[in-house]
A and B are shown apart, each in its own frame.
Chain A
Amino acid sequence: MTVVLTLLLRRVRSIGKIIRDREGTKSVVMALFALLFGVVMLGEYVMFRHALVEVLRIGPASDGLTLYILESFLILVLIIAVISYVVTGLWTFYRSSDTAFLLSSPLRLSHLFWLRTAETFFVICWAFVLLAVPAFLALGVTYGRHAIFYVRAVVILILFMTLAGGLGALLTMLAGAAFKRYEIRTSILVTTLILVGGLAFLIGRHIVPATGDFYLIFQPGIPNGKPGSLKFIEKRFWLWPSHPLAVSLFTGVTGPRTGLTAPLVSTFLLPLGALVLAGVVGRRLFAATIPVVAERFGVASRATGRPIARDASFPRFLRGPIGAVAERDLLSIVRSPHELGSAAFILFLLALYTAILFVAPLSEVLEKPEAVARLFSLDLMAIGYFLTAFGLRFVFPALSLEGRGAWILFASPLSIFSLFLGRLLGYSALLVLMVGPIAAAGAWRLATFPALLGLFGLLLGLLILTTVTVSLGAGVIWPNFREPNAETLATNTGGLATIILSLAYVATVSWLGHRAASAFFRGETLLPELGGAAVLSAVIVAVAIAAARRRIKALEIL
């Protein structure tokens, strides 16, 4: 195992080198990213704390609601972590650039398995820190727990991460073995679809609360001042592997409960079991699969070069040089399961959020105009967040990802500024088609007044156009043709600028949306707020386009 540790240390050092090699602004960028990470965690902490305080105020039913929230939250984090693990892991385990070298070295396959397990785990473990730590902290503070609870919470977090890592590795190996004769992009796509589809079904069945669930939580002991029963919640969640951990965390804040011993024992047994299972079954599956995959995608496969589309012309759907590049952009997403999986994942989260809007018991809340105005604003903010995530992941890196192939476009007669404008229109249209219907459905759930829906449509249009322009502009102003990884590109100065500018803009438009919705309910005109949003968007779009144009004139390809 010393070899595995040495190789892992080399990876860490190489990441450090990448950070060190960045020019002047690197430390500022890193500090700002840490600050942004901290702000997100703080925001999450405030949100959890606020929600838990409200739950505590309910009185007898608060225990039941707290457990319900914990169960749902841990399941969501587990699902996000496991899907991320499998999508990342299929590539890391089977297609890492150094696989051929390591396979030709005396490194044992079992050591290679543990190396890839650890590498994948480190790539996805941010989710636990970003999501779980603020939630656990808010839980302890709200219930006024002492230091011992936080020690317990850290142990639970480690066990939770072990559970997710073990399950992720096992599922990755199962998927790898099942699809070993297929191209890795097909494997990732099919596995992601199966996991997302299956888990969305389970989330719909088990996590999203129905109105009836609230009656079960709040009745029947509450009128007598007795705490509500937890049996219904336990019955609903006991099959989820995160259940023992949720119960353990719950008893950490509410004190021991009779009948909860078995889940507490499982708190340790399940994560260890997942790890052992991954180590025994997963390792063997890997040993049986990697030689097949390595041979299929190694040098031997080049001779065959299976035809994809014989004699097919190109572009098939769009016209002109910019249309051809746009079609190539789309093809590069469609033909890459990693890219497609990332896009599908963002859309899945957006659809999940919208589905929650539909199943959440909002009937009474939606009768209060101020509550509708607030939800309207929060909905805009949520959609803006998804747009920012999409912009950062797909639009911002568009130019940089030309990478070593940038010579093709830059040496051609194509105007790069025209390409910039074409991409601006293309990505905006794509987002209108992809996000528009889902966002419109969510808005319709909150308010059916035509004027409010019209306002939402206009603000959504402005959000799409502006976030796309900001992302695209930052990508042109801070290009990096040497980095082929879109996720890594998003961590440079331009990525940071995209996040800060887009989120600040989204927050401002959401605030204007709240003011406009309130004005609507008071029977006043919406024009000042709408005009404000339009002027703000126009200024940002104009400045971003002008800055990008100026940068393009001086752009050189290394």
Chain B
Amino acid sequence: MAVQDLSLEIAPKEIYGLIGPNGAGKTTAVKMITGLYRPTRGRILIDGIDLGAQPAVAKRLLGYMPDEPFIYERMTGREFLHLVGELYGVQASERTRRIDELLDLYTLRGVVDGYVENYSRGNRQKLAILASLLHTPRLLIVDEPIVGLDPESAIKTRDLLKAFAEQGGGALICTHTLPFAEQVCHRVGLLKDGRLIGEGDLPTLRHRAGLPDASLEALYLHFTSAHVR
């Protein structure tokens, strides 16, 4: 079983980082939260709405960017953004305004009217991030937010996530880029072998580890190596 007895809560205005070694179950957890996988037991509540019972209502509150943001190759970036807006029930005039607004976040204006098949990996990722924000979700789920992005775009993404949380949204980030997680996350959960082996903000984790000045990287190594089956 990829994930066992996982229980986590993300509050509004909070960025939660889920970290762990390869095969720990991070992507499985994310896919369950986004409705791509069906948990064998347990519940997923988004703003109090049960994802299993009311998937359409719950998913409307979610924004998702996967670790491999594959996007329809024979659509333009703008068409793709409109399609996503339509799927999430954003009115045509509203989404035209939002798309225009979002395109300023990254330098995508020059390519947004070309086929996605001609985009670089980074541009696809930027497009997927913008798509996940288009309908102003309550909870943003981002799997590996900055892999493939240039440093400038990575900084913009960091600021974007922070701004999203400041405006009241909650965010779940899965990443191996620990310095990035350390910069943006309010709390961190360490997942290993499908179980949460540690959770809390940095001071709490440092206290638990007995390492007062440790970086997230040091804490990660401490917890994951200490928790050997």
A residues at B contact (CB < 8 Å): 301-302, 304-315, 320-321, 324-325, 328, 331-332, 335-336, 403-405, 407-415, 554, 556-557
**12 A–B contact pairs at CB < 8 A?**
A308-B115, A312-B113, A314-B75, A320-B86, A321-B89, A332-B72, A403-B70, A404-B68, A408-B87, A411-B64, A412-B59, A414-B56
Segment touching A, from B6-14, B31-39, B167-175, B179-187: B31-39
Q: List the A residue with the shortest CB-CB distance to B72.
A: A405
- Judge if B17 is at the interface, Cβ distance under 8 Å: no
* A414 contacts B75, C-beta separation under 8 Å: no
Which secondary structure dominates where chain A touches chain B?
loop
Alpha-carbon distance A211/B100, docked complex (angstroms) = 66
* B60 contacts A413, C-beta separation under 8 Å: yes
* B59 contacts A307, C-beta separation under 8 Å: no
The contact of B36 among A336, A411, A413, A415, by CB within 8 Å, is A411
* B87 contacts A321, C-beta separation under 8 Å: yes
- A residues in contact with B75, CB < 8 Å: 314, 328, 331
- Judge if B4 is at the interface, Cβ distance under 8 Å: no
Alpha-carbon distance A557/B66, docked complex (angstroms) = 12
- A residues in contact with B200, CB < 8 Å: none
Alpha-carbon distance A306/B114, docked complex (angstroms) = 5
Contacts known (A302-B120, A408-B71); A310 close to B113, Cβ less than 8 A? yes
Contacts known (A407-B36, A407-B64, A556-B37); A413 close to B59, Cβ less than 8 A? yes
- List 9 other contacts, CB 8 Å, given A321-B86, A324-B83, A409-B87: A312-B76, A312-B79, A313-B96, A314-B78, A328-B79, A405-B71, A410-B35, A411-B64, A413-B89
Alpha-carbon distance A412/B119, docked complex (angstroms) = 23
Contacts known (A404-B70, A556-B36); A411 close to B56, Cβ less than 8 A? no
B14-49, CB under 8 A of A: which get 1 and which 0?
Answer: 000000000000000001001111100000000000
Contacts known (A302-B119, A556-B37); A412 close to B74, Cβ less than 8 A? no
Q: List the A residue with the shortest CB-CB distance to B100.
A: A311
Contacts known (A320-B86, A413-B88); A311 close to B78, Cβ less than 8 A? yes
Alpha-carbon distance A311/B111, docked complex (angstroms) = 11
- B residues in contact with A307, CB < 8 Å: 76, 113-114
- Smallest beta-carbon distance B26→chain A, Å: 15
* B87 contacts A412, C-beta separation under 8 Å: yes
- Judge if B57 is at the interface, Cβ distance under 8 Å: yes
The contact of B113 among A308, A320, A403, A413, by CB within 8 Å, is A308
* B56 contacts A413, C-beta separation under 8 Å: yes
- Judge if B84 is at the interface, Cβ distance under 8 Å: yes
Give the residues from 130 to 176 in chain B that come closer than 8 angstroms, CB to CB, to chain A: none
- B residues in contact with A328, CB < 8 Å: 72, 75, 79, 83
- A residues in contact with B111, CB < 8 Å: 305
- Judge if B118 is at the interface, Cβ distance under 8 Å: yes
* B118 contacts A412, C-beta separation under 8 Å: no
* B31 contacts A314, C-beta separation under 8 Å: no
Alpha-carbon distance A305/B60, docked complex (angstroms) = 32
- Judge if B191 is at the interface, Cβ distance under 8 Å: no
- B residues in contact with A324, CB < 8 Å: 82-83, 86-87
Give the residues from 47 to 63 in chain B that come closer than 8 angstroms, CB to CB, to chain A: 55-57, 59-60, 62
* A414 contacts B82, C-beta separation under 8 Å: no
The A-B contact count (CB < 8 A) is 113
- B residues in contact with A309, CB < 8 Å: 76, 79, 113
- Smallest beta-carbon distance A321→chain B, Å: 5
- Smallest beta-carbon distance A324→chain B, Å: 4
* B74 contacts A413, C-beta separation under 8 Å: no
Identify the 10 closest CB pairs spanning chains A and B, nearest first.
Answer: A305-B114, A404-B70, A314-B82, A307-B113, A324-B86, A314-B79, A412-B87, A413-B56, A305-B111, A557-B36
Which one of B57, B62, B70, B96 has the greatest number of beta carbons of chain A within 10 Å?
B70
Q: List the B residue with the shortest CB-CB distance to A301.
A: B118
- Smallest beta-carbon distance A401→chain B, Å: 10
- A residues in contact with B62, CB < 8 Å: 411
- B residues in contact with A331, CB < 8 Å: 74-75, 79
* B74 contacts A315, C-beta separation under 8 Å: no
- Smallest beta-carbon distance B180→chain A, Å: 22
Q: List the B residue with the shortest CB-CB distance to A405.
A: B70
- A residues in contact with B110, CB < 8 Å: 305
- Judge if B105 is at the interface, Cβ distance under 8 Å: no
Which one of B57, B66, B74, B86 has the greatest number of beta carbons of chain A within 10 Å?
B86
Which one of B75, B76, B87, B96 has the greatest number of beta carbons of chain A within 10 Å?
B87
- B residues in contact with A411, CB < 8 Å: 34-36, 59, 62, 64
Q: List the A residue with the shortest CB-CB distance to B64.
A: A411
* A308 contacts B76, C-beta separation under 8 Å: yes
- B residues in contact with A306, CB < 8 Å: 114, 118
- Smallest beta-carbon distance B32→chain A, Å: 10
* B86 contacts A315, C-beta separation under 8 Å: yes
Alpha-carbon distance A106/B84, docked complex (angstroms) = 44
- A residues in contact with B83, CB < 8 Å: 314-315, 324-325, 328, 408
- Judge if B218 is at the interface, Cβ distance under 8 Å: no
Alpha-carbon distance A313/B79, docked complex (angstroms) = 6
* A413 contacts B55, C-beta separation under 8 Å: yes
Alpha-carbon distance A408/B70, docked complex (angstroms) = 9
- Smallest beta-carbon distance B166→chain A, Å: 25
- B residues in contact with A407, CB < 8 Å: 34, 36, 64, 66, 70
- Smallest beta-carbon distance B198→chain A, Å: 28
Contacts known (A405-B71, A411-B59); A315 close to B82, Cβ less than 8 A? yes
B88-107, CB under 8 A of A: which get 1 and which 0?
Answer: 11001000100000000000
The contact of B38 among A332, A409, A556, by CB within 8 Å, is A556
- B residues in contact with A405, CB < 8 Å: 70-72
- B residues in contact with A315, CB < 8 Å: 82-83, 86
* A308 contacts B82, C-beta separation under 8 Å: no
- Smallest beta-carbon distance B189→chain A, Å: 21
- Smallest beta-carbon distance A313→chain B, Å: 6
Alpha-carbon distance A310/B77, docked complex (angstroms) = 11
- Smallest beta-carbon distance B113→chain A, Å: 4
Alpha-carbon distance A321/B114, docked complex (angstroms) = 23
- B residues in contact with A412, CB < 8 Å: 59, 84, 87-88
* B84 contacts A408, C-beta separation under 8 Å: yes
* A414 contacts B113, C-beta separation under 8 Å: no
Alpha-carbon distance A309/B76, docked complex (angstroms) = 8
Alpha-carbon distance A413/B56, docked complex (angstroms) = 4
* B92 contacts A311, C-beta separation under 8 Å: no
* A311 contacts B35, C-beta separation under 8 Å: no
